[in-house]
Amino acid sequence: MSSYEEVYRRSIEQPEAFWAEEARAIHWHRPPDRILDDADPPFRKWFAGGQTNLCYNAVDRHLEARGDQLALAAVSTETGVAREVTYRELHREVNAFAAALLRLDVGRGDRVVIYMPNMAEAVFAMLACARIGAIHSVVFGGFAAHNLALRIDDAEPKLLVCADAGSRSGRIIPYKPLVDEACARAQSPPPHVLIVSRGLDPAQPRVAGRDVDYAELRAQLGDAEVPVAWLESNEPSYLLYTSGTTGRPKGVQRDVGGYAVAMAQSMRTIFDCAPGEVMFSTSDVGWAVGHSYNVYGPLIGGCTSLLYEGLPVNPDPGIWWSLCERYGVRTMFSSPTAIRVLKKHDAAYLRERDLSKLRYLFLAGEPLDEPTAQWITEALGKPVIDNYWQTETGWPALTLMPGLDMKPVRFGSPGFPNLGYRMKVVREGSGETVGPNEKGVLVIEPPLPPGCMTTVWRDDRRFLDSYFSHFDELLYSSLDWAVRDEDGYTFILGRTDDVINVAGHRLGTREIEEAVSSCPAVAEAAVIGVADELKGQVPIVFATLRDPKADAAAREQAARDMQRAVDASLGAVARPSRVYVVGALPKTRSGKLLRRSLQALAQGQDPGDLSTLDDPGALEEVKRALGNP
C-alpha cells in the first residue's frame, strides 16, 4: 500500500496525471478532452469536454453486477416504516420520478427545489433530477417559510417537490402550509408543487392548477423508462444553500464530473467502504453530508446506503447501534452533537449490539471535543475519525484515510489535507505562512480539487468576494482559525467571521439579527455564538428596545417575541438560547458593534482592547445583564 505522503505529494505536484487516473473509477459517456482547465483562476474546469451523469454512475452501471443487491434502506422510527430497495428497484423508482418531472415540464438545466425529510422518495427525486439534467436544490425539511422563499427566489425553480409532513418525536410537522406560505412570499414561485404524501397530514387543501399528487401522477405514467441526459462535466449538478454573513444565503454550485470522481475516490480512500458494503450516514439529506454520503457517495461506490429518519434516542438510545447490527454497517458517519446526546445515556445500549462488522465511525460538522472523542472511542472499541469540510468543499478537506494509509488518531484534530487539497495556515491580513502551533487562517491554494464548489449560483462576483478576496495572494479562505502542529496535524479553532455552528448547522448571525429586529419593540440587536456543551455553539441575543423606559414585564415579553420571530423566520434550530435586553450596546466611536467583546464577556473571558469604546456604560450594562461583576 502506498503511503499517504507519497500519494498526497503526487496529487498536488502532478494533479492532471493524478486525477486522470482517478477518473477511471467512474463511467464516461465521452472521455474528457482535458483533465484540468485553469486558465481563469480561481475558476477551474475538471475533466473538460467529458460527458457523464451522476444518476447513471449511481444506479444504471450497477444493474448488471449488483442489480439484486440492497442499494437503499430507508428506516423511519417516526412512521414505523422500513423500506428496502435493491439497485434494480431503485432504477425503476428513479425512472418513474424522472417521468413525473418531465410530465411537469422540467428539463435539462431547470431547477427543482426538494423540501423533504429523510425518506426514500427524497433520494428518488434527487437522482431523477440528475438523470434528466435538472439541477436540484434540497432545502432542509422544516425550514421556515421565509428561508424557503429566499431559496426559491434565488433558484427560480420550475418545480417544488415536498412531503406532506415530517415528524419529530411523534410530533407532526406539516410541510404543506410552509410551502404555501413560501410560495406566497416568493417573487418567483414555481408553477407546480409535487406532493409526496405519507398520510401524515391528509387534510391539507390543494391549490388548483399548481399542486400535483405524486402517487396519482405515477399511476397515470406507469413504469416509464427515461433516457439518461449526458452532461458536460462542468454543467451544474445541484445547488446547496449555505448561510452568509450578509443574511442572504449563498447557492453553492457543484459540477457533475468532478463531483462524481471525488465521491468515488473518497468512498475508497477515506471511508474504506467497498461495493456491497454498508454505509450509514446519520445526516439529513438537506445538508452537504447528506448529499455526499447518504446519497451520491455510497451509490456511486456500489455500496448500500442506510438512511434514517428519527432521533438517536427514540425508541431508545440504542437505535443507531441496532440498525448497525441489523444491516451489518461497515462505515458510519455522524456528528459530535449526536454523540454528545448519546453520551448522556448508558453505554450498555451500544455494547449490547453486535458491531463486529463496523470498522470506523467518522464525525464531522463541528469541532470534536476530546472528552466526547474519548468516550465514544472507548465505548465502541473502534477508530473514531474526525474530519473537516464545508458545504463549499463538498467532501472532506482534512481527514485521516484508513482506505489508503491510516495514521494515528490525535484527539482534537481532523488530521491531514485530503488528496488534491493544497492547504496551509496563514496570518490574517498578510497571508504569510505561520509556523508550527501558531494560530492563523486555514486556506486552500487554487485550483480547488474536484468535488469542490465551482461558483456561487449566478454570482461569480460573490464567489470571488466571499472566498478569494481576503489576501493579496489568490487563496481560498475557509474563514476558520487553525493551528498545525509540528507533525502536520491541523486543529480547527473556530470561525473568523459571523457564522456560528449550532449542532452542525451553519447559521449567519446577521440572519438571526434580521429576524430579531423585525419585532416592533426592538431598536437594535446583536447576535453572537457562544460555546455549548451539547450543541457546540448556540446563539444568544443582546437587544435594546424602542422604549427605553420599558418595565420588567415588557422586557420579558419582548424577549419572548424575539425568540418567536426567529422560530418563524429561520426555524427552531436558530432559536436563541438566551435573550438579554439592555439599555445600550457597546460600540466603537465609529458606530461598529463590538461583537467579539460581547462574545468574550458572555463566555467569561477578557473582552480585549476597548480603547475605541464609545460608551463605557454600555459595557457595564452588558456585564450586569450577564451577572458579571
CA 42 from chain centre, in angstroms, equals 23
What is the Cα–Cα distance from 502 to 505, expressed in whole angstroms?
5
Computed on alpha carbons and rounded to an integer, the radius of gyration of the chain in Å comes to 24
How far apart, in Å, are the Cα atoms of 378 and each of 343, 347, 381, 383?
Answer: 12, 10, 5, 9
pLDDT recorded at residue 536: 84
Peptide bond into 449 cis (omega under 30): no
Q: Is 548 exposed, middle or buried (0-12, 13-18, 19+ CB in 10 A)?
A: exposed
What is the Cα–Cα distance from 415 to 390, expressed in whole angstroms?
15
CB atoms within 10 A of CB 346: 12
In the chain, domain spans: 4-310+387-461, 499-626
If DSSP codes are grouped into helix, strand and coil, which group holds residue 134? coil
pLDDT recorded at residue 596: 73
What is the Cα–Cα distance from 70 to 327, expressed in whole angstroms?
10
List the Cα angle 582/586/587 in 5-degree steps.
Answer: 140
What is the Cα–Cα distance from 449 to 393, expressed in whole angstroms?
9
pLDDT along the chain (629 residues), means of 10: 92 98 98 97 98 98 98 97 97 98 98 97 98 96 87 97 93 94 97 96 89 96 94 98 73 98 98 98 94 98 97 94 98 90 88 96 85 91 95 97 96 95 94 94 97 98 96 94 94 78 75 83 86 88 87 92 89 89 74 73 76 68 77
CA 617 from chain centre, in angstroms, equals 41
pLDDT recorded at residue 590: 44
What is the Cα–Cα distance from 74 to 197, expressed in whole angstroms?
16
Residue 212: closest CA among 303, 87, 104: 104
What is the Cα–Cα distance from 493 to 416, expressed in whole angstroms?
15
Peptide bond into 202 cis (omega under 30): no
pLDDT recorded at residue 588: 57
pTM: 0.85
Residue 86, beta-bridge partner list: 70
What is the Cα–Cα distance from 415 to 387, expressed in whole angstroms?
7
- Nearby residues of 295 by Cβ (< 8 Å), 6 or more positions away: 58, 123, 126, 127, 285, 305
**Run of H or E including 536:** strand 536-545
Contact 125, 136 (CB under 8 A): yes
What is the Cα–Cα distance from 132 to 110, expressed in whole angstroms?
10
pLDDT recorded at residue 246: 55
Q: Is 378 exposed, middle or buried (0-12, 13-18, 19+ CB in 10 A)?
A: exposed
Quick check: do 4-310+387-461 and 499-626 share a fold? no
Residue 48, beta-bridge partner list: 34
Residue 247 C-beta-side C-alpha neighbours within 13 Å: 11
Please list, residue by residue across 415-444, b when 16 or more beta carbons sit within 10 angstroms of its beta carbon and e when fewer do.
bbbbbbbbbbbbeeeebeebeeeeebbbbb
pLDDT recorded at residue 174: 93
CATH assignment, 4-310+387-461: 3.40.50.12780
CA 78 from chain centre, in angstroms, equals 22
pLDDT recorded at residue 613: 61
pLDDT recorded at residue 1: 64
Strand intervals (E) in 16-69 = 34-40, 43-48, 51-52
Pairing of β 522-532 and β 536-545: antiparallel
What is the Cα–Cα distance from 235 to 243, expressed in whole angstroms?
24
Q: Any idea which architecture 499-626 has in CATH?
A: 2-Layer Sandwich (3.30)
